[in-house]
Structure formats: structure tokens, C-alpha cells
């Protein structure tokens, strides 16, 4: 059958083109998914890291503020009735570090004893606010919730109780921080410049915004925001959320433990992925030259790919031709599939040869014992004669085997033959040759083995058989005759006959024994046989 090389080439081109296109589509899709996940994951972790950093900075600042107020409270406690000291200490707190926008000293009765603040701060307005009364009631260090004070702006009050020398509560000293104006805390949390639409906000323990880019939302209470719920629960982390404005956000958050606040840094999902589509188009555009080069290479190599397959197919049509195997070996298979096909063809030819060899071996082997038959024995003898290999011969026969067959049947007789064969294997070497020459007759050929050693092997085999009764028939004995080529005779046929005569002599003199061709009785028997033959 002639193969159409053009059709095969087109098939390869089609499959390769489809594969390249599918690979490209899959690569683009996988790249898109990976890049999308990387962008989202990177933004989430970046926001978490930034929120954590600012939360720690805010906690450090608030702790510093509290320490400043604590120092002032201790100073004031030493001279609670000294107006000049009170005013001086409040002025110091206001101007020393720009931590506060105003500083107040309120006694236990709720009376303002000192105020350090710009002119537009009114003392009566300050005292009317709930955080002042809460500080007096709770009598402990606290950070208040946002409250409106000056011009509708939101403030927080950080207060420190004052304990006099007698251990009694004597009001507090507190610092007011404007959430809209310049202060260290305001600069720390509000003055963050972003180019990618990321922004940061802070909520207090009551879900109220205390820092937000849109200052009109400061003081607003935010509910149903999972990021705020989680951060106010004291957890640091990140998650994708839909904020209170219905926008998908990538949020990272961290709590400010000292104040119960939560810092949230977030970026819109749409802004994060805005550049991804352009990136993918750029990837596709830059891939086009490679695609064109790949297509050209596929077209050029399609012929080379199909050529070895075509030659192999041609040779496979004529497996019976003697030169086919050598022709297949000459075919150049430079890629995996063709090489595998070539190997398979060669293995096929080898299998045919092995089958022929197996048939030949079967013709040389006894089917019952799987050792050589007469034909196989003869072939081995001819080989050794050509190579001039000396050997000993052990001829053996099962004693009273006909009685076993008559008493137990041929199946049991076959089992006895197999048992004898097995013992022959046990007593022989790998290079020894075993043969079944008749019904219960066997030969063992022992290359490069002196006659004396062969006699020992025969005696060991005889003894093993006589001492190992078989399950069905009991004890089985064998008789053996031993000869050697060229020691006992120079003619191989004569050596085999000497072994047979020695075997016959063993049977005639009582069975279950070993006779050697060099024994006088065996030599006499051999002369009589030669006389009869002559």
C-alpha cells in the first residue's frame, strides 16, 4: 500500500497548527488568571502591611501622648492650687510637640482650671461635650469617641486622671486632637498620597470614622462592613469586600490596640485590574512574531517528520524479505515516535526469530522433563567434538520402573520421571547437559570433569534418590554407569556405549549401584558386546 506523503504532511501541519493555537490560548488564559491572582494577592498583602505599619505608628504615638499627659498629671498633682503652674504646664503640652490642638485642665467638679488653645476655642463649649463628662465619670486614662466642637469639626479627647497627694481624684488633664487639622496624628494618618486610588481610613470602637480622605464622612457610623467588623475584633488580615458604597475593594487592616481603633487600607478591585487587559494585549502582540516563525518551522519540518514514517511503512509491507531488517536499521529516525515505531518493527522481526528459535528448541527438548531429548543430545555432542571438549558420561535408569507404571499408572510414572530429573538438576552444574534418552533412561554429560569426580556425582545422585522416598510410590532407586571421553574411549559413540554397558552391569549385579567403564567386569562386558557386534 502506497502512503500519500502530501496527506500525511497536511495532517501533521493541521495537528501542529491546532496544537499551537490551543497552546497559545491556554497560555494567555493561564497568564491572565495567574497575573490577576498575583495582582489581587499582592494588593491585599500590601494593604495589610501598610495598615499594620500605620496602626503600629499610631499606637506608638498615642502611647507617647498618654505618657506626656501622665507626666503632666503628676506635675500638677504636686501643686494643684498653683494657677501659674497649671497654665504653664498646659501651654507646654500644647506647644512642645504639636500632639494636641488644645489642652485643658478640669478639676473633679467639672470646672475648667486651665486652657491652652487658639482663641476660637470657647471654654464653656468645651465643658458641655460628653467626652468631658465621661472622663470625669470614669476617672481613668481614656481616648474618647469623635465629637463635634469647633466650627462643626470633629475632635477626640485623650485624658489622664490627676490623683492628689492624699490619693483622691482631682479631675484630669486632657489633650484635644482635631481630626481635620494639623497635628502629628493627623499627619500620620491623613497625609498619605497615593497614585493608584488606594486610600486609608480609621474607625473607632463604635464604628465611627475618625480618619477618612473625605472629611465630610468623619464621624459617620459605618455598619455591615466585614473588614471593619474583623479589625475591631482585634484581628490583622486582608479580604475582598464590598464597602458601604457598594464598591468591590481589596482591604488590608490592623487594629490599634491601645485605643480600640481599626486602620483599614483599601484599593478598588477595578483599579487593581485596570491595566491587566492592556498587558494581555501587549503579550499577544509581542507573541505574533514567534507564532509566524513557529508556523514556518512547522511547515519546513512537516516533510522531515513524515519521511521516516513513510519509509518505515514501506518496509513493514515486506516483512518476509531477508534484507528488510537491515533496511529498517538504516532508516534515520530523529524523533521519538518514529524511533519507537522503528524499535517496534525491529522487535517484531526479533520476535519472529525468537519464535523460530523456540520452535527449534522445542524440537530438541523433552516435553515432560524440559531437558534435552536425543536430537538435542546429539547436537550438543557434535558441538563438543568440534571444540574438542572432554567430558564424563553418566547413564542412568530407574529400577523396576515398569512395576511402578503397572501398579500406579502412567501419571504416577511421569511424576517419578520428573522427580528423578529434578534430582539430576540438583546434583549438576549450570554447564552440565541433561538428557532423557528413553522412557526411564537418562544421560548426564559433565564437561571438563574427570572420571573420578563423575563417579562421585553419580554416587551422590544414587544415594539421594534412595534416601528420599516419593509420596505415592515410596523409595525409588536408580542404577548408573559412568564413562569418559576420551579417557575410556576415543570414539564418542563408543563412550556412550561404555556408559550403557556399565549401567547394564549395575542392573545385573543387584541394581541401586554405580558401575564404571574402567571396572574389569564392565570391560569384559564391553568386549563381549564388541564381539557380538563384529
199 vs 490: CA distance, rounded Å: 111
CATH number of 1-287: 3.30.450.20
Over 70-97, what HEC string results? HHHHHHHHHCCCCHHHHHHHHHHHHHHH
| Run means of pLDDT, 10 residues per run, the chain, 534 residues | 55 78 83 87 91 89 89 85 85 86 89 84 81 90 83 84 89 88 77 72 88 84 88 92 86 90 90 82 82 80 74 72 73 76 72 58 84 92 93 95 92 93 94 93 96 95 92 92 93 93 94 94 88 76
The predicted structure's pLDDT at residue 350? 61
The predicted structure's pLDDT at residue 3? 45
263 vs 56: CA distance, rounded Å: 10
Residues ≥6 apart with Cβ < 8 Å to 258: 59, 62, 63, 66, 143
Widest pairwise Cα distance in the chain: 159
Q: Are 160 and 171 in contact (CB under 8 A)?
A: no
Other CB atoms within 10 Å distance of the CB of residue 464? 14
Q: Which helix (H) or strand (E) holds 484?
A: strand 478-485
The CATH topology of domain 374-531 is Alpha-Beta Plaits (3.30.70)
The predicted structure's pLDDT at residue 192? 60
Closest CA to 496 of 415, 401, 378: 378
214 vs 211: CA distance, rounded Å: 9
The predicted structure's pLDDT at residue 496? 94
The predicted structure's pLDDT at residue 2? 47
The predicted structure's pLDDT at residue 279? 81
Q: Using the 8-state DSSP alphabet, how is residue 215 labeled?
A: G
Closest CA to 144 of 259, 300, 29: 259
- pTM comes to 0.51
The predicted structure's pLDDT at residue 151? 67
* Residue 53, all three cell numbers: 505599619
Amino acid at each position: 500500500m502506497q502512503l500519500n506523503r502530501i496527506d500525511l504532511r497536511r495532517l501533521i501541519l493541521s495537528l501542529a497548527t491546532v496544537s499551537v493555537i490551543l497552546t497559545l490560548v491556554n497560555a494567555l488564559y493561564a497568564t491572565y488568571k495567574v497575573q490577576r491572582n498575583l495582582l489581587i494577592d499582592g494588593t491585599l498583602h500590601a494593604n495589610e502591611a501598610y495598615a499594620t505599619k500605620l496602626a503600629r505608628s499610631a499606637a506608638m504615638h498615642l502611647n507617647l501622648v498618654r505618657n506626656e499627659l501622665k507626666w503632666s498629671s503628676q506635675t500638677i498633682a504636686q501643686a494643684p492650687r498653683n494657677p501659674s503652674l497649671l497654665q504653664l504646664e498646659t501651654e507646654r503640652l500644647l506647644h512642645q510637640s504639636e500632639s494636641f490642638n488644645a489642652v485643658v485642665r478640669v478639676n473633679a467638679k467639672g470646672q475648667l482650671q486651665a486652657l491652652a488653645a487658639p482663641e476660637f476655642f470657647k471654654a464653656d463649649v468645651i465643658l458641655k461635650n460628653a467626652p468631658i463628662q465621661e472622663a470625669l465619670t470614669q476617672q481613668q486614662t481614656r481616648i474618647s469617641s469623635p465629637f463635634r466642637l469647633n466650627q462643626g469639626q470633629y475632635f477626640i479627647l485623650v485624658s489622664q486622671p490627676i490623683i492628689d497627694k492624699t490619693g483622691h481624684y482631682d479631675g484630669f488633664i486632657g489633650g484635644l486632637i482635631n481630626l481635620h487639622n494639623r497635628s502629628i496624628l493627623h499627619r500620620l494618618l491623613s497625609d498619605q498620597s497615593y497614585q493608584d486610588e488606594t486610600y486609608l481610613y480609621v474607625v473607632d470602637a463604635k464604628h465611627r470614622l475618625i480618619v477618612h480622605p473625605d472629611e465630610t464622612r468623619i464621624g459617620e457610623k459605618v455598619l455591615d462592613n466585614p473588614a471593619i467588623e474583623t479589625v475591631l475584633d482585634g484581628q490583622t488580615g486582608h479580604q475582598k469586600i464590598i464597602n458601604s458604597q457598594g464598591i468591590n475593594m481589596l482591604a488590608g487592616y490592623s487594629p490599634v490596640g491601645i485605643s480600640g481603633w481599626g486602620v483599614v487600607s483599601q484599593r478598588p478591585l477595578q483599579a487593581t485590574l485596570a491595566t491587566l487587559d492592556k498587558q494581555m494585549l501587549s503579550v499577544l502582540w509581542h507573541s505574533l512574531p514567534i507564532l509566524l516563525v513557529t508556523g514556518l518551522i512547522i511547515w519546513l519540518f512537516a516533510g522531515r517528520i513524515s519521511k521516516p514514517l513513510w519509509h518505515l511503512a514501506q518496509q513493514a509491507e515486506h516483512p518476509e524479505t531477508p534484507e528488510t531488517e537491515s533496511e529498517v536499521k538504516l532508516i534515520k529516525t530523529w524523533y521519538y515516535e518514529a524511533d519507537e515505531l522503528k524499535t517496534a518493527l525491529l522487535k517484531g522481526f526479533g520476535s519472529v526469530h525468537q519464535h523460530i528459535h523456540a520452535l527449534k528448541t522445542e524440537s530438541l527438548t523433552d516435553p515432560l522433563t524440559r531437558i534435552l531429548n536425543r536430537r538435542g543430545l546429539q547436537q550438543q555432542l557434535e558441538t563438543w567434538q568440534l571444540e574438542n571438549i572432554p567430558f564424563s558420561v553418566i547413564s542412568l535408569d530407574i529400577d523396576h520402573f515398569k512395576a511402578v507404571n503397572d501398579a500406579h499408572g502412567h501419571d504416577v510414572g511421569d511424576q517419578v520421571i520428573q522427580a528423578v530429573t529434578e534430582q539430576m538438576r540438583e546434583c549438576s552444574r549450570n554447564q552440565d547437559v541433561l538428557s532423557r534418552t528413553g522412557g526411564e533412561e537418562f544421560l548426564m554429560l559433565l564437561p571438563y570433569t574427570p572420571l573420578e569426580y563423575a563417579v562421585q556425582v553419580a554416587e551422590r545422585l544414587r544415594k539421594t534418590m534412595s534416601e528420599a522416598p516419593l509420596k505415592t510410590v515410596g523409595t525409588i532407586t536408580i542404577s548408573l554407569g559412568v564413562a569418559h571421553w576420551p579417557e575410556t574411549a576415543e570414539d564418542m559413540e563408543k563412550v556412550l556405549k561404555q556408559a550403557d554397558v556399565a549401567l547394564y552391569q549395575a542392573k545385573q549385579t543387584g541394581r541401586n549401584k554405580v558401575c564404571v567403564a574402567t571396572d574389569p567386569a564392565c570391560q569384559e562386558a564391553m568386549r563381549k558386546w564388541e564381539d557380538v557386534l563384529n
